Amino acid sequence: MLDQAIFYLFAGVAVVSAILTVTRRNAVHSAIFLITALLATAGIFLELRAEFLFIVQIILYVGGIMVLFVFVIMLVNLDVAVRQLQFARQKWVGLLISLALAAQVGLMLWSSRKIPGQGVPVLNAVPADKLPPNSEEVAKSLFSSYLLPFEIASVLLLVAMIGAVVMAKKRT
């Protein structure tokens, strides 16, 4: 019961602020609503008992990536862009195709739950008080089964860092 209330609260906040993110004219407002959407997603992670991801989502997304976004919005002068046309010329085609995709996937999810044994599985999840400590489990999995992807991710971050520095550097 409490799970349901928390889920619907955070899901509502996430969907509403996502819609506001893509419709607000001012990019700073979009960034702030994106922060709310990401925080609501963090709440859903907590409701799913993924405590480590909850903390990572807040520290890395809201604290790191969004600061980067707001910083770039301040560097790039957007006063001109606010007064210009907000949506691209292909907006109606894009909206139509996106909604068609939504209808397709939604119909698939909706119809597959009635087929026993073939659709989206309906299992009984492990009760919350029987779960092992989350951070410990994530660390064990990350540093044993997924050690190579972990190292590759670190190389990727290094490459991204060098690439960002080189591209944002002033040409002399």
Partner 1 sequence: MLPIGHYLFLGLALFIIGAIGVVTRRNVIVILMSIELILNAVNINLVAFSRLYGDVAGQVFALFIIADAAAEAAVGLGIIIAFFRNRETVLEDEMDLLKW
49: left (phi over 0), alpha (psi -120 to 50) or beta: left
**Which residues from 46-105 bind partner 1, rule CB under 8 A?**
48-50, 52-53, 56-57, 60-61, 64-65, 68-69, 72-73, 75-76, 78, 81, 84-91, 94-95, 97-99, 101-102, 105
Q: How many residues bind partner 1 (CB under 8 A)?
A: 87
Amino acid at 71: F
Amino acid at 48: L
For partner 1, the closer of residues 72 and 117 by Cβ is 72
Nearest distance, CB of residue 130 and partner 1, angstroms:
9
Report how far residue 109's alpha carbon sits from residue 119's, in angstroms, rounded to the nearest whole number: 8
1 binds partner 1 (CB under 8 A): no
CB 71 within 8 A of CB 63: no
| Token pair of 161 as six digits | 């860092």
Q: Which of 63, 109, 111, 151 binds partner 1 (CB under 8 A)?
A: 109
Q: Which residue has the tokens 């944002």?
A: 168
148 binds partner 1 (CB under 8 A): no
5 binds partner 1 (CB under 8 A): no
Nearest distance, CB of residue 131 and partner 1, angstroms:
8
| Token pair of 84 as six digits | 């210009």
